[in-house]
Copies of this chain bind each other. A is one copy, B any other.
Amino acid sequence: MTTARRSDATRAAILEAARERFAEDGYERATIRAIARDAAIDPSMVMRYYGNKEGLFAAASEIDLDLPALGGLPARHIGAVLVTHFLDRWERDDVLTGMLRVGVTNTAGAERMRAVFAEQLGPIARGVCPDPAEAPRRAALVASQVLGMALARYVLRLPPAVEMSTDEVVAWLGPTVQRYLTDPEP
């Protein structure tokens, strides 16, 4: 077991600043110098602790969608529950917005997103959709709608998407997600 180091606070501060900057500015415009300034330390410390910018990004983008277990749930409510959860998760902090920003411009970021959805949304789809072999496709459909709304609402900020209440979003997207997961193939 590893004992606590004196530098752990600094490491954490760097990571937090990095997450914020990556989320706000995307990979290229989030400079190590700006991150270091936010964390109130010298840029060289970032290098010392995380090797290089890619390493920092890898450390800063460990993402947990934190999806709920859907075990005892009535099958026909899954869509609404899932959309509700995604909205919550998206508004809790800006890690997911960051993932989206970085995934779009950076190869490593895109790879990370593929992994996150395959590992965390895939199993859920496998649990509820009619034919487990179709689970990846159905998960991708759900991802397309959920990510699309996140894009419109939190990144592009299309005014009508921003103005909708979370209840309205759930009412509109819930049935869509529900259909993608549980309806027979069209």
Contact = CB atoms under 8 A, between A and B. Distances in A.
Interface of A: 25-26, 28-29, 100-101, 103-105, 110, 113-114, 117, 136-137, 139-141, 143-149, 151-153, 155-161, 163-164, 171-172, 175-176, 179-180, 185-186
B114 A158 contact: yes
Closest 4 CB pairs of A and B: A148-B148, A28-B28, A140-B160, A26-B105
Contact of A114 (B100, B101, B139, B156): B156
Copies in the complex: 2
A175 B172 CA distance: 13
Given A104-B155, A172-B180, A160 B136 contact: yes
Contact of A104 (B104, B161, B163): B104
Contact of A186 (B114, B157, B171): B171
Contacts of A136: 159-160
Nearest to A163: B137
A103 B28 CA distance: 14
A185 B175 CA distance: 12
Contact of A144 (B151, B159, B163): B151
